[in-house]
Homo-oligomer: A and B are copies of this chain.
Amino acid sequence: MDRIYGEMAIISGTANPPLAEEICRYLGVEPVAADVFQFPNENIFCKLHQSVRAKDVFVIQPTCSPVNKNIMELLIMIDCLRRDSAGRITAVVPYYAYGRTDKKDQPRVPITARLLADLITVAGADRFLTVDLHAKQIQGFFTIPVDELTALYMFVDYFAQKRLSHPVIIAPDIGAIRRARNCAERLGAPLAIIEKRRALDGKHTDMFNLIGDVNGHPAIIVDDEVDTAETLTRAVRFLHERGAKEVYACATHAILSGAAADRIRESGLTELVVTNTVYISPEKMERMAGRITVLSIAPLLGEVIRRIHEGVSVGELFDE
């Protein structure tokens, strides 16, 4: 192969070290030796132990909890790499926080997903690599090239192998429909939608409708992330009420904030399938034992990093 970029270098922030290690193993490389830590005054510091001059560097840092600290750490690492004369810097952010703040759906609010794109760019990233953005339009918030991967095919394969009998794919809210539809199309299954209706007088609680039919069928809820799991567990209850035989769910990003793990354990959900874009502590895994399956995104990220580095097509990987 002709050399176009400098040598590949992988460096990890503190957000999800096991994922970075798995990617390094896939690629057969050692990560760049570096200290990334906080001083007692919470100021993050980064000190590389080896030069990245002219190298083709990939910084792996999902912006999961602690979200704001991990964002700042990412930006500071990029600044450090740029000032050490990295040849090219790809920010690898398997989970992109603030994705839901991607539009002004009410007046006088920020569009933080755009702001974050600008921050990453001004810090010095040359490229951006991510997985399952909350909305595909977020790609357009960047001017640097973006590669967005999806875990959807992994989920489709996983459920296809289960051979459920006539499952119905469920969009748990309006925002999840496109994703659910794509899943339904590939599984050859019908689609149903849970619609939340705000009580406009502001007094009564929200109402939920099921648009479509699930009675007597297994249901598979499809979403991009599980956050507090409130929407998810309410959907499970609601689907059971509407006669679903059993309820599965899949979501790329296992945020699992607050009491999410407990809610999932007690939800009546048969199985929640997620990936490891976000680090899940062993303690949380324990609390959801038997309910959660984690598929690894590392081989996909590793393969795409290899292709980006070698300058060959990423799209062909997905046969598109």
Contacts and interface: CB of A to CB of B under 8 A. Distances in A.
Contacts of A139: 83, 103-104, 111
Interface residues of A, number: 110
B181 A109 contact: no
Interface string A283-298: 0000000000000000
A31 interface: no
A108 B84 contact: yes
A14 B122 CA distance: 25
Interface string A86-126: 01000000000110111111111111111100110011100
A193 B178 CA distance: 12
Interface stretch (A39-47, A215-223, A236-244, A269-277): A39-47
Nearest to A46: B110
A19 interface: no
Given A51-B312, A51-B313, A85-B127, A103 B137 contact: yes
B113 A122 contact: no
A303 interface: no
B115 A43 contact: no
A69 B184 CA distance: 39
Nearest to A52: B108
Interface string A194-234: 01011010000000010110000000000000011000000
Q: Closest 6 A-B residue pairs measured CB to CB?
A: A54-B311, A51-B313, A107-B315, A137-B137, A103-B136, A48-B108
